[in-house]
Amino acid sequence: SAPLTLLIPLQLQLEKHKGEILGVVVVESGWGSILPTVILANMMNGGPAARSGKLSIGDQIMSINGTSLVGLPLATCQGIIKGLKNQTQVKLNIVSCPPVTTVLIKRPDLKYQLGFSVQNGIICSLMRGGIAERGGVRVGHRIIEINGQSVVATAHEKIVQALSNSVGEIHMKTMPAAMFRLLTGQETPLYI
């Protein structure tokens, strides 16, 4: 498991003009993440968040101006961010995380169920206490790589096949599905 030192939030202060939006897109971190909070998925070119040079895609936002976002629904967090429009200074507590989650499932043999289901490359359910949950699989994440092979453009059946036949150590890379859609241009970012 990750050493706890990785979870020390950084305190940042961003400057912005009154009436200017922060210029970000946030998504949910995904069920099963260490901290249920929102993740920075996109930044508007020239917006205060991008101008600051202090934020990166994948950063988890813990609090804004002293208000904790941990455990709050996405819509509530978006509302808090929208409410910053007339502020000229924004204090953020963030935990820097790469946008891609690395998962390691240990499956001794095919008798062991993987313990998660996939729909269009997205993990849609997870068996509590199963080998997938222990390996760091998160609901709502898009699988982007299996054992070093990209599955970004791979058909659903092939992904399922690759997973169901895998034994030993299964290495996967995943990211929140909403972030994946933004990064692959399937969704137009709505900045707040």
Q: Domain segments of the chain: what residues?
A: 10-98, 101-181
pLDDT band at 34 (very low <50, low <70, confident <90, very high): low
Which is more confidently placed, 65 or 178?
Answer: 65
Is the pLDDT at 146 greater than 90, yes or no?
A: yes
For the domain spanning 101-181, the CATH number is: 2.30.42.10
CA-closest candidate to residue 40, choices 188, 144, 178, 184: 178
| pLDDT at residue 106, rounded to an integer | 95
Sequence-distant (≥ 6) Cβ neighbours of residue 42 within 8 angstroms: 24, 25, 57, 179, 182, 183, 189, 191
Which residues pair with residue 39 across a beta bridge? 27, 60
Whether residue 98 is predicted with pLDDT greater than 80 in this model: the reply is: no
Q: Is 50 exposed, middle or buried (0-12, 13-18, 19+ CB in 10 A)?
A: middle
pLDDT at 125 over 50: yes
Whether 10-98 shares its CATH topology with 101-181 is answered yes
What pTM was computed for the model?
0.74
Q: CA angle 169-116-183, nearest 5°? A: 85
pLDDT tens digits along 65-78: 999 999 899 999 99
pLDDT at res. 1: 45
Dist CA 175 CA 99 (whole Å): 6
pLDDT tens string 126-140: 999 899 999 989 899
Using CB atoms within 10 A of its CB, is residue 8 exposed (0-12), middle (13-18) or buried (19+)?
exposed
Domain 10-98 bears CATH identifier 3.40.50.300: no
